Structures are given as structure tokens and as C-alpha cells.
Structure 1
Amino acid sequence: MRGLVQDRFFLALLAALVAFGVYQPGRIPSFGKLIDWPTLAALTGLLLLTKGLEISGALHSAGRTLIESMATERAVALFLVATAAALSTVLTNDVALFVVVPLTLGICRLTGMPAVKMVIFEALAVNAGSALTPIGNPQNLFIWQRANVPFDEFVWHQLPLVACLMVLLLAFAAYAFKARPLQALEHETSALDSRLLALSLALYVPFLVATDMHQAGWATAAVFLLFLMLRPRVVAELDWGLLLVFALMFIDLRLLAGLESVNRLMLSLALQKPENLYFAGIGASQLVSNVPAAIVLAEFSSDWRVTAYSVNVGGFGLMIGSLANLIALRMTGDSRSWIAFHRYSVPALLLAVVIGYGLLFLS
């Protein structure tokens, strides 16, 4: 938590909250209602379970096995990027990160590979991969349920975009990571806590099932209490700052989306035109992230095909474009990782915009 005072993104969110409080003092008592508590509860539970796996030493052991089976840094990078993308199609983008990023950080500690760069590519990978299915990310789930179209129709529509993005991303990763031989550093050792590993794995599936049944609050409370009683270190080492950042994001973004000037702007964009809708979704994602952007756009257009492309493309670019970006960068533990992130994500956005436009309007 002490690191928050040096976290510029947190400080910006806090400053925005203070500004909204000054501008709309009458809404201060209702700020807490703007937080999506089920989402925050689910995030807390996932963080606890992932921290349990990390502390158990299982990810360290898995990292060593992966290092021994692959010859170069490039091979590891391509494997992790592809794995993150594949997992995101079925586990959602944030859950995929909770699985892959701790493993990645362990591998980077063992080999000296650049951890921040690797995690950045994984964030880009889950943004691309999760765009494929209706359950890959929250914005797709919202669009799919609202459009009421078959699962396979949604996937078939998204497939060309995702295929193009993944080919480019893998090529980009192959260029960014060199074919240097892997060498494990011998000073890093970690004993396996088999009981903590068993507890974390045993809780994982029931937690996901309970969350899918809209019981995230009770499921997280149960996970929290079990770890508090059996392994209090997991609770003590949790990134509580990340949860605070997410709470502030919910409040700030929803206050921003509710401003009358924002609504007037949306009405002036003539969103009945598909091209306008496409660029509006991308732009809105850069301002309020792609999930709120999808929700706002649904009030002005029923064109789910263009909306799905626009908000998924909008996950690239600025860090705020997708909440998965924030999760990944926070997990690196590097307060300056957002600077490096934009060196890769902004070019990725420009390429994705062109690809999406071509597939929608020129093919």
C-alpha cells in the first residue's frame, strides 16, 4: 500500500475523484454505489487464489520445467503469448492474466528475461485473444447478451479480426525477443508448499462456478476466511492497492460517463453511421475503457458487429483502454511499467484500427 503514494495512475484517479467531489458535492454520499461490487469481489477472490499459487512455489516449479523444455527466450515468449491468448478465449482476459503473469514473473526471475516487456505482450495477447468469444471479456458478454445472437455466429464474426491481430502480435513478439539461449540463475530456489497448493487449486473451480452464479461476494468471503485461518501470509501479501485503484476507476469513469456534456457529445456523433460508431467506440475506450464504452454505445446503436470490433480494438492504445492492461501492469510491481506499455500498445492500436476498418468496411 505504501507504493500507492508513488503510483501516478492512482494519484491521477484520486485527483479526479476530488475534482468530481468539488464539482458535484451532492453526489459524494452515493459514490460507493458507483462501484461494481460483484466485479471487485471477484477480483479479490482471484487475487487471493493466485497469490496462494504463487506463495506455494508451484509457479516457480512450473517455470523451471518450461525453461528446461525450451531453448531460447524467443521460444518462451511466443509460448507465453500464445498461452495467454488461448486461455483468454475461455477464462476471460483477466483470469488468463492471473494464471500467466505470476508464472511469467517467476520465469523472468529465474532467467533474467525482461519481465515488464513480457507482461506487456501478454496484456496485448489477452486483449486480442479474448475478442474471439462472447465469454472472453466483459464487453463481449454484454454485447452478446444484448444482441441475442448464437455463440458460433459471434465467434465467426470476430474470427478474422482476432486471426489478423494474433499473427501480427506473434510476429511482433518474435522480433522483440531475441533467440538468446536460456540460462537459469542458480541463486533462485523455492520450496513447494504442497498443502497451500492443494488448497488454492481446490478452491479455484468452486470459486469460478460460484462467481458465474453471481455469488462472488460469498465465494470471496469464504476464500478470504480460509486463507486467513490456514495461510494468513496470503492475505497479508495481497495487492490491496490494486483493489483500491479499481474502486476509484469505477467511481471516476461512471461519473465521467454520466456528465451531460458527455451525453451531448455522443448524440452529436451520428452513431447510426457504422464508420462513426466504429471510431467512437475506439475513442471512448481510450477515455473510459472498453467495458463502459460498450455500455454507453449500446444506448445509441444496436449494431453489435461494429460495436464488438470497435471496443475490442479500443482495448489497445492507452493503458485505460482495457482493465486487463491495468491488472497486468500492476502485477509487474514496476510503477514505471506504464511508460514501456505505451511504446508497444499505441502502435498496436494503430495497426488494429486499420485492420478492423478494412475487415468491416473494405472487404
Structure 2
Amino acid sequence: MNSTPAEAAPADAEHGGGNGLLWVLLAAAVVFAVVRPRAPMDYLRLVDWQTVGALAGLLAITQGVERSGMLQAAAARLLSRTTELRNLVFLLAASAAVLSALVTNDVSLFLLVPLTRVLATQAHLPLARLVVIEALAVNAGSALTPIGNPQNLFLWHRSGESFVGFMAMMAPTVAVMLFWLFAAIRFLVPRAPITLKPSTEAVPMQPRLLALSGVLFVGFVIALDQRWLLVGLAGVFGAFLLLRPRVLLGVDWALLAIIALMFVDLRQLAELPAVAALLGQMPIGEGWRAYLAAIVTSQFISNVPATILLEGFVHDLPALAAGVSVGGFGCVLGSLANLIALRLAKVPNGLREFHRISIPFLLVCGASALLLRLG
């Protein structure tokens, strides 16, 4: 059933789902500490600091871009050229899918979700729904290439396939996901005209801040590529602290805590002897069983840890790759990109809207991709 576009939440709205997930993850960490205590330094080793550090730098740079006024100007130009809601959503979803295949799913969200949030300050748009669709789009698009997401990079190195060969392996599953993505947009988004909100005072452009953010982004990406994380973080935070300290006030530190606790909790869960024993007894080595095991495991420990955990038990790499890709849908924990999208959107009830769309999408997409594999 088509829905009427809802008003966007104000900019200072509670982050998607609030900090409830943070407290749940913290409670789980306490339980693990009591049941299976370990040395303090061991907890730090559980965290993938490369991922957390990369997110910290990108969050700071994104704040710089937002405060520069560039997103507001880009949003106004886009709304002047796109007058129908469904066309706008198609454009955003397609952009998210393409960008995620080229510059990874997380980076594409850092580019598009802030723009979408600004669009919702200038027009009456269903912000939560748009961001959920963008999260689905990056999960689908990033599955195509070896560099689209971390699990693909891991499996590509294990497979021995060429870059193009890996894309050919993933193409059927990605085609199914994108087909249902655009079918979902037709179902969820009406062909309604976009209604602009009353004009507010224009945000002044700050070209120097935009230039600073652009230079820092390029430098930070190069630093990440060279594995110079600390150098990159020192450059980003040092530059903002000296030149534009107010930018750092907008960084979502709670998101970084959530991601760190996810690594602590989910990796401890995956290490439980009972989990390894259960997986060793199950016939998930290949075929549809491997595919379904990857989807189900992703719902509980996210698709990147699921890939690493199952790689020792599953011998059918195409089935594993397809399963963890589809497993990014469903539960918000299925993919790190889901959490990033909701936190960047800063909308109340974001988790509820996400699961209302993503769980049915997982069921339909998962069954379709399975039928394709069996066929």
C-alpha cells in the first residue's frame, strides 16, 4: 500500500533508534565479562580498530561537508530539477548502488545519507523510508565487486578469482537484489509531486571549509589505503581542531561506541565452543544449506563476522558469498551499513521503519536468489 510522504524529523531529532542498541551491547559485554572473563587488553584486540578509525575520520569529514553549506545548495538544485517523489527515490537508490560498488558501501552512505537528510529539510519527504531504501541499495550494489564491502574483499582473496571473474560470480545474485529493490520502490513510494517546505534562511556557503574537507577526505582515503590509520586520523582531527573545532562537536561518538561493542560482543559469541561445535555438526558445507546458513548467521553476528566464521565450515564459496550478501538485509545487525545509515539519518523510529521494510525484503529476495541458484 502506498504511503503519503511524511515530514522529515528535525535536524536535532533523536538518532535512529536512539541509544538503546548501545545499552544492549554494553549489557551483553558485561555478561560475557562475567561468564568468560579475559584480560583487559584482550577486549581491545577484539575490536577492528581499522574499521572504527576509518568511521571516525569519515564522520568528522562528513560534518565538515555539512557545515560548509554544500549539501544544502546541492539539495536545492536537485529539488529544482526533480519534481516527483518516486523519481527522486529511484535516483538516490541507483546512485547508492553504483557508488557502493565503486567506493564501498560505507563511504557511499557517508556521501548520500547526509544529502538525503538535507533534502528532507527543504521538502516534505519520508526521510526514514528513503534512508532504509538507501541502506538496501548499498547492500545490494556493494555485493557486485570485490572492493564493494569487507566480506567480498575477504572472499575474493580466498577464491583466487580475477576481479572480473568474481563480479561474474556475484552478478546473478546482485541482479535479483536490484530487481526487488526497484520493485520495492514502486510499491513503497507513490508517484506524488514533491512539496517544498517554506523557504528558510539559506545556509551560507563556506568554500574554505568545503575545500578543507575535500583535501582531508582525499588524504584520509590515501592514508587508509596505505594502512596509515593513525597518521590519517591525526591529520583529520588535528586540522579540524586547529582550524574549525566546532566541526568535531557534531561527530556521532555513540555510533563509534556501538561499532566497537559490536566487535567485542559478536566476536565473543562466534568464539563460543558451543557455536563451533554446532556448526561442525551441521551439513552446511555446500549448496542451499550453505547459502541459508550464511543468511541466518548474518542476522545474529553481522555478515562480515559471519563470513569469517563460516569460511572454515563452508566449501561452496559462491553459496557463502551470495548468502552473506543477502544476509545484509533483515535484522539491522545483518550489515554494518544498516547501522551507519540509521545513525547518519538521525530520525526517530528508524529501527522500526527499517525492520518493517527490510525483513519482508530479506524473505522475498532470499527466496528468489535461492530459486535462481537451484535453477
1:68 and 2:105 matched: no
Alignment of 1:115-126 (within 5 A): 115-126=127-138
1:346 and 2:359 matched: yes
Question: Alignment partner for residue 334 of structure 2, among 296, 315, 321?
Answer: 321
Question: Alignment partner for residue 147 of structure 1, among 159, 163, 184?
Answer: 159
Match in the other structure for 2:108: 96
Match in the other structure for 2:58: 46
1:112 and 2:131 matched: no
Contact 1:286 1:314 in 2 (8 A): yes
- Post-superposition Cα deviations, 1:230-284, rounded to whole Å, max 9, x if no partner, equal 1111111111111011111110011101111111111111222322211110111
**TM-score w.r.t. structure 1 length?**
0.96
Question: Alignment partner for residue 248 of structure 1, among 261, 265, 271?
Answer: 261
Find the aligned partners of 1:217 and 1:310 in 2 and give their Cα distance.
Answer: 34
Question: Alignment partner for residue 217 of structure 2, among 187, 196, 204?
Answer: 204
1:267 and 2:283 matched: no
One-letter amino acid of the structure 2 residue matched with residue 353 of structure 1:
G
Bigger relative contact order, structure 1 or 2 (CA pairs below 8 A, ≥6 apart): 2
One-letter amino acid of the structure 1 residue matched with residue 330 of structure 2:
G
Displacement of 1:16? 0.3
**Unpaired stretches in structure 2, ≥5 consecutive residues:** 1-12
| SS of corresponding position for 2:38 | helix
Match in the other structure for 1:303: 316
- Output the aligned Cα RMSD: 1.7
Contact 2:300 2:334 in 1 (8 A): yes
- Post-superposition Cα deviations, 1:280-308, rounded to whole Å, max 9, x if no partner, equal 10111001000000001111233221111
Question: Alignment partner for residue 11 of structure 1, among 20, 23, 27?
Answer: 23
Question: Alignment partner for residue 219 of structure 1, among 229, 232, 257?
Answer: 232
Displacement of 1:27? 4.3
Question: Alignment partner for residue 332 of structure 1, among 345, 352, 364?
Answer: 345
**Unpaired stretches in structure 1, ≥5 consecutive residues:** none
Contact 2:216 2:235 in 1 (8 A): no
One-letter amino acid of the structure 2 residue matched with residue 180 of structure 1:
A
Alignment of 1:175-194 (within 5 A): 175-185=187-197, 186-187=199-200, 189-194=202-207
- Post-superposition Cα deviations, 1:37-96, rounded to whole Å, max 9, x if no partner, equal 111111111111111111111011100110001111111111001101110001100100
One-letter amino acid of the structure 2 residue matched with residue 90 of structure 1:
L
Bigger proportion of residues as helix: 1
Displacement of 1:29? 4.5
Match in the other structure for 1:34: 46
1:56 and 2:68 matched: yes
| SS of corresponding position for 1:26 | coil
Find the aligned partners of 1:114 and 1:273 in 2 and give their Cα distance.
Answer: 41
Find the aligned partners of 1:7 and 1:179 in 2 and give their Cα distance.
Answer: 34
One-letter amino acid of the structure 2 residue matched with residue 122 of structure 1:
E
- Post-superposition Cα deviations, 1:196-246, rounded to whole Å, max 9, x if no partner, equal 001111121221122112112221121110011111111111111110111
Contact 2:14 2:346 in 1 (8 A): no
One-letter amino acid of the structure 2 residue matched with residue 200 of structure 1:
S
One-letter amino acid of the structure 2 residue matched with residue 351 of structure 1:
V
Displacement of 1:119? 0.3
Match in the other structure for 1:228: 241
- Post-superposition Cα deviations, 1:166-190, rounded to whole Å, max 9, x if no partner, equal 1221121122222222233212521
Report % sequence identity: 42
Match in the other structure for 2:8: none
Contact 2:286 2:315 in 1 (8 A): no
Find the aligned partners of 2:222 and 2:196 in 1 and give their Cα distance.
Answer: 37
